[in-house]
Amino acid sequence: MEHSSINSLTSPSRNTALFERAKKLIPGGVNSPVRAFKAVGGTPRFIQRAQGAYFWDADGKRYIDYIGSWGPMILGHGHPAVVEAVQAAVLEGFSYGAPTEREVELAEEIVKLVPSLEMVRLVSSGTEATMSVIRLARGATRRSKIIKFEGCYHGHSDALLVKAGSGLATFGSPTSAGVPPEVVQHTLVLEYNHIVQLEEAFSLHGKDIACLMIEPIAGNMNFVRASVPFIKRCRELCTEYGALLVFDEVMTGFRVALGGAQSVYAKSIPGFKPDMTALGKVIGGGMPMAAFGGSRAVMEHLAPIGSVYQAGTLSGNPVATACGLATLREIQKPGFYDALGARTRSLVEGLTQAATKAGVPFCSDSEGGMFGFFLLSQLPQNYPQVMKTDSPAFNRFYHAMLDSGVYYAPALYEAGFVSAAHTADDIETTIAAARDFFSSLASK
Ligand code: KE4
């Protein structure tokens, strides 16, 4: 559905000109598809600079930023301690291709904060982290099959670009051209939060399952929590059949809590730990940095000591590690998550009240600095329920907020993020813009 916001109707926008220029040289004009605004329509905003909770587009329009680079910018943009650390690091050198003390310091911080990890390997993207986890799980268990869930996104490695097959007996089929069917023949795609189907899958294939990979709070379905009983059953079945339980916390790690989503579930499931974890986004503070880790027994299958190969030119990059370390040090300050969680809750509660008052079906949820909302009456539990959302209605809401200077993720299946830099005034401004939109619906 084409949608041009008021701005692009009233004056030629530099965003539009830049988009046309970009499309000549970069497929779709973007370096990652969701940025192209295809899901919501209209012209993507080309961002020129950012500071705190805000960024400014090529026309100089300011937005309150609720995307935070898809999660990394938990401190807000340009935090002085992070800027200082990066400036100091670049003066020492950009990249060496050799080990550095700062990689050890970052590994120490990650292992300290995520008790399920005994060892970590640093990489440059979440895709690399999850792709490497799959290979390591297969190498360590000598099994080929993997389980993922519909609606969960784990990056774009071939084995994970899969949609559900027809029932449990058949394995997945590719969601992308260029992925040969035989590459995804070992990937079983199940329905999120469906315990019976999970149990059936393990009874059919359990002895061949290398790992089960899940987004514990699915930020690629906007915001859908795995139920505690479901996570508990994933843990029990993986243990029973000798499969590795993998938490993809690229988005939730250090975002929903200092110990990630696994620390949230451990409050309801005593002693809960996944076998492996993928991390990203926040641990790089906005620079290319991700990681994966697990027990020493599993991680020591990795080259150069083990037989599972994995490598990366810029893995543990000295500037990215400086950015990540400075970020991890700030989020450990007392009260950081209490304040962030309260601010995020005030946003979603305010949005829900505004919609409900106007009689608009709306529900929301949040954990720490991550939130989601749906133009639905009830929180969805799985992908088919998420996709019942009235997409054109979401797009109208999206553009009304964008025109009001509020920037959410440009797709109804993406989560939102609040940073430590968002003020109570920013939240109130956002809610007021939503209230105006919802009441405009009521007056029609
Ligand atoms: P990257 O390769 O994009 O760094 O990470 C892949 C990835 C892995 N696991 C989870 C849970 C993720 O959310 C992601 C990437 N998230 C998307 C947003 N839904 C990144 C934005 C984009 O694709 O441009």
The response to whether residue 148 sits with its C-beta less than 6 Å from ligand 1 reads no
Q: Would you say the CB of residue 398 lies under 6 angstroms from ligand 1?
A: no
E strand intervals along 58-166: 62-65, 119-123, 145-149, 162-163
| Closest Cα to atom 1 of ligand 1 | 126
In CATH, 100-331 is 3.40.640.10: yes
- Residue 71 CA to ligand 1 center (angstroms) comes to 9
Burial 261-284 (b: 16+ CB within 10 A, else e): bbbbbbeeeeebbbbbbbbbbbbb
4 has pLDDT over 50: no
154 in contact with ligand 1, CB cutoff 6 A: yes
**153 alpha carbon – ligand 1 mean position (Å):** 7
Q: How many residues does the chain have?
A: 444
Beta strand residue intervals within 187-324, DSSP E: 187-190, 209-214, 217-218, 224-225, 244-249, 276-279, 290-294
199: helix, strand or coil: helix
> Measured in angstroms, how far is the CA atom of residue 221 from the centroid of ligand 1?
12
The answer to whether the CB of 44 falls within 8 A of the CB of 35 is: yes
- Among 128, 220, 276, 383, residue to substitute to test ligand 1 (most atoms within 8 Å of Cβ): 220
| 354, 375, 411, 434 from 444: Cα distances, Å | 16, 18, 25, 16
Whose CA is closest to atom 24 on ligand 1? 32
Q: Which residues lie below 8 Å from residue 353, measured CB to CB, with a gap of 6+?
A: 431
**For ligand 1, atom 23: residue with the closest CA:** 32
Asked whether the predicted pLDDT for residue 3 surpasses 70, the reply is: no
Indicate if ligand 1 lies below 6 Å from the C-beta of 220. yes
Mean pLDDT of 389-418: 96
DSSP, res 226: P
| Cβ 32 under 6 angstroms from ligand 1 | yes
Comma-separated ranges of CATH 3.40.640.10 domains in the chain: 100-331
Report the distance separating Cα 235 and Cα 266, nearest Å: 12
To the nearest whole number, what is the mean pLDDT of the chain?
A: 95
Question: Which phi and psi angles does 2 have, rounded to 5°?
Answer: -75, 140
Distance CA 148, CA 387 (A): 18
Give pLDDT, residue 165.
Answer: 73
Atom of ligand 1 nearest to the CA of 281: 4
Task: Answer whether residue 169 shows pLDDT above 70.
Answer: no
Asked whether the predicted pLDDT for residue 336 surpasses 70, the reply is yes
Residue 5 has a pLDDT of: 46
Q: What's the whole-number mean pLDDT along residues 114-137? A: 98
Measuring from atom 9 of ligand 1, which residue has the nearest CA? 154
Q: Is 251 in the pocket of ligand 1 (CB under 6 A)?
A: yes
pLDDT > 90 fraction of the chain, expressed in percent and rounded: 94
Q: How far is the CA of 152 from the centre of ligand 1 (A)?
A: 10
Q: What is the pLDDT of residues 254-279, one digit of tens each?
A: 999 999 999 999 999 999 999 999 99
286 lines ligand 1 (CB under 6 A): no
Tell whether the model's pLDDT for residue 45 goes beyond 70.
Answer: yes
Q: Out of 134-143, 174-183, 205-214, pick the least confident.
A: 174-183
CB burial of 348-369 (b: ≥16 within 10 Å; e: otherwise) equals bebbbebbeebebebbbbbbbb
Give me ligand 1 centre to Cα 412, in Å. Answer: 15
Nearest CA to ligand 1 atom 7: 155
Catalytic residues: 153, 248, 281
d(CA 234, CA 12): 53
Q: Which run of H or of E encompasses 113?
A: helix 101-113
Report the nearest atom of ligand 1 relative to the CA of 130: 8
C-beta of 126 in contact with ligand 1 (< 6 A): yes
Q: How many secondary structure helices (H) and strands (E) does the chain include?
A: 14, 18
pLDDT in tens, 264-319: 999 999 999 999 999 999 999 999 999 999 999 999 999 999 999 999 999 999 99
Instruction: Please report, for residues 255, 272, 278, 368, the alpha-carbon distance to residue 268 in angstroms, rounded to integers and kept in the order given.
Output: 19, 8, 22, 17
206 close to ligand 1 (CB < 6 Angstrom): no
The four Cα atoms 78, 84, 90, 94 give a dihedral, to 10 degrees, of: -60
Alpha carbon distance 120, 136 (integer Å): 12
- CA 251 to ligand 1 center in whole angstroms: 7
Ligand 1 center–CA 280 separation, angstroms: 9
Average pLDDT over residues 18-41: 97
Query: What is the pLDDT averaged over residues 173-191?
Result: 93
Using the predicted structure, report yes or no on whether residue 172 has a pLDDT greater than 90: no
> Is residue 328 within 6 Å of ligand 1 at its C-beta?
no
